[in-house]
Structure 1
Amino acid sequence: MEQRPTLSRPGLALALVSAIGMVLAGVGFHIALIILAIWLGTLWLSAPRPPQPDRSGGDGAFTRASVGDLIEHSATPMLLTQGSRVTTANLSARRLLGSHLVDQDARVAFRHPEAIALLARDAAGSAIIRGLERRRDIWSMNRQPIGDGFAVIELVNRTSEADISRAHTDFVANASHELRTPLASIIGYVETLLDTPGSLDEETSDKFLGTIAREARRLQHLVEDLMSLSRVEAEKHDQPEEEIGFASLVERAARDAAGSERAHRLEMHCNSPVLIAGDSQQLEQLVRNLVDNALKYGDDDKMVSVAVDMSDKGEATLTVEDRGEGIAAEHLPHLTRRFYRTDPGRSRASGGTGLGLAIVKHIVERHRGRLDIDSVQGEGTTVTVRIPCKAPSQAAVRDIAKLS
């Protein structure tokens, strides 16, 4: 609020005494009042006014303090510059670029051609900076002048957006390739049969039809897995609440995955009365995928072990172990990526789509669990899934005991 000037008390008293004296001396009252008003106006205009705060900041102190307080706790890194010098940096910016940033030349702090070009312009603008914190980082740098040579700089991390876009692009490219291969095979054999009606012997025709049927089933499995993955990803933020006896579910799903022809290779240890909150359909799919992989890639003459237990941390633990060739260490971090295969030829020959472990990973994440894969070449692979347990009621314990 603007402060008013202060009238001098002696001057005010002299004006009043003079006005009274003129009235007593016979001067008309209205004339004396006019003279008094003029005198008071003169005193008002000439009265000293208190100094106003320098809102321009002089050297920028007022602006720095107010903007600094405003941006300090923002989650977005923000800086205040005067010319090319950084005068203020909020907490996020100091964590990103270092506390030595303040009073440093901004061009030295960023050391990026696009950033330097933006800082050189005395106008609003933006630039894309790469490798600001880590080599593959992508940041958007926005500059907004606020007067008196000052400007606010905002840094927005665009890395996750770029990663998502790249993942979508890779997924579409990989899915297109996976779909195109069986389709090309089916179309080729069908065209051959259509172009040579009756000219092929029965054995060759049966061979062609068998290939068409096999590729069609492969295409069907791929589409089913793509749809399953899409559903799991869409629901991954919805924590399931269905009360499930985990051991009985695992045993049932494992035997379904093995079927009658591979059931003799299963070694089951699922007697622990473990209760979890989960989605039974998705958990059955998780078990089927893990058991199917173990039976496919394990040694045909050796057993696959499936066990359910309770960990010391109160987690339901599922372990699926095969005794096969094992997986090289460099492949382990990539196994849950979509369409990743350690041996593409063997995987396709066995009917694999490359999506099984990606689906498993998303199901585990939805159930707030953990997935670990350990492998030793020449000995086999062990997959462990840990899911938080649900405190069982007495009735549930009795039901689980009956099932077990």
Structure 2
Amino acid sequence: MAFAGTNILLVLAAMLVWIASFWLAATPPPVSLPQQREGVQLTATGMADLIEHSGLPMFMLDGERIVVANAAAREAVGSHTLGQDARVLFRHPTAVELLSEPNGGSATIEGLTGPGSSWQMSRQPIDGRYSLIELVNRTAEIDVSRAHTDFVANASHELRTPLASIIGYVETLVDEGADLPAEQAKRFHVTVLREAKRLQSLVSDLMSLSRVEAEKHDHPREKLDFVGLAQRSARDGAGLDRQDRLDLAGLEGEILVRADEKQLEQLVRNLVDNALKYGEQGTPVSVAIERGERDMAVLTVRDRGEGIPAEHIPHLTRRFYRTDPGRSRAAGGTGLGLAIVKHIVERHRGRLDIASRVGEGTTVTVSLPIAD
């Protein structure tokens, strides 16, 4: 431009613009946090490295925008969070309020990773610009608390029903005294005895369930013959008046498993008792054990009853769950039998399967590892 006779001021201006373009294109220095630790200034990259392997989901925010999310955070809410506005990510009024709180704090966020999920969110300001977000998953704790509350409520209801019946009949017997006809008094006494036995069974099952749950992490070591134990326990579960309905043709030979003898006996008794209660009167209940795949001993208890509709099967092992509450109570059931069976199977590292067809009957299968 100078050789072409261009004005020298215009040449100097063009040179300044050209030099400035190199300065603007240079890589900017990393974003750094003003906080000093042992004389080393932390950068966003350094913070990412610091929290990457933390077991808790953690985010670093630049204002309201997420600039760092560790592996646990990406797994919990997805990798799309980087660069996103935190208020959009959490979408919870309490969380939005916490994000704008200058002194930080904590809040509970519901539904962050799915329906029913619950997370404790904590925000710690680093300076006026940057802040650190930490998430703690509280879903399991809340589920346990909810299950405990439901269990107490159901147990209270189940205990209250026979107690109310006993108190009512006894009060009538006391008030009427000798004026009550002998036949009616006898009927009242029979009812009180039946309800007292029902209450006794319920308390016994509650204690059994509590013991099994307390020992669920203690794997049994004793070797037992599953076949012989099932024969004895099936006869005990049937009692003297129902022996003729038992079909034990499939219980032969010897198969060893590592088991708690009392709990395994209770498992077989519960399954046989259920099958005899809810199977068609006069029809047999088959009990068999065989060697299954993957070195498993497979116990099968089958009845020929009305069967269970498919929608009930996933809930049968819940405490106090009944497909027909009236029939269950009339048969003397507590609603805890299959819950106890499930926990015993879990303690023995086994598997429980329930199959049923309406009009054909129900088959319960328990698979336990064969002892070496």
- TM-score of the superposition, structure 1-length normalised? 0.81
* Structure 2 match to 1:56: 34
Deviations 1:125-164 (A, max 9, x none): 1111111111111111100112252111011111111111
Structure 1 contact 371–384 (Cα < 8 Å) conserved: yes
Matched residue SS, 1:133: coil
Summarize the alignment of residues 5-404 of structure 1 with structure 2, pairs less than 5 Å apart: 56=34, 62-147=42-127, 149-268=129-248, 269-391=250-372
Matched residue SS, 2:317: coil
Aligned length: 337
Cα drift, residue 272 of structure 1: 4.1
- Cα root mean square deviation, aligned: 1.6
Taking a change above 3 Å as real, the CA distance of residues 61 and 110 of structure 1, as seen in their structure-2 partners, is farther
CA distance in 1, matches of 2:33, 2:115: 42
Cα drift, residue 311 of structure 1: 0.7
Amino acid corresponding to residue 371 of structure 1 in structure 2 = L
Structure 1 contact 272–310 (Cα < 8 Å) conserved: no
CA distance in 1, matches of 2:353, 2:47: 48
Deviations 1:260-311 (A, max 9, x none): 2111111111114211111000000000000000000001121101010111
Structure 1 contact 56–148 (Cα < 8 Å) conserved: no
CA distance in 2, matches of 1:61, 1:335: 59
CA distance in 1, matches of 2:121, 2:91: 13
Q: Which runs of 5+ in 1 are unaligned?
A: 1-53, 392-404
Amino acid corresponding to residue 206 of structure 1 in structure 2 = K
Cα drift, residue 68 of structure 1: 1.3
Taking a change above 3 Å as real, the CA distance of residues 329 and 55 of structure 1, as seen in their structure-2 partners, is closer
Amino acid corresponding to residue 76 of structure 2 in structure 1 = L
Identity value in percent: 61
- Higher Rg: 1
- TM-score of the superposition, structure 2-length normalised? 0.88
CA distance in 1, matches of 2:206, 2:165: 20
Deviations 1:83-108 (A, max 9, x none): 10111000111112211211221112
Taking a change above 3 Å as real, the CA distance of residues 272 and 146 of structure 1, as seen in their structure-2 partners, is farther
Q: Which runs of 5+ in 2 are unaligned?
A: 1-31
* Structure 1 match to 2:18: none
Structure 1 contact 57–63 (Cα < 8 Å) conserved: no
Amino acid corresponding to residue 349 of structure 1 in structure 2 = A
Deviations 1:215-258 (A, max 9, x none): 00000000000000010010001011011111111111001111
CA distance in 1, matches of 2:136, 2:45: 23
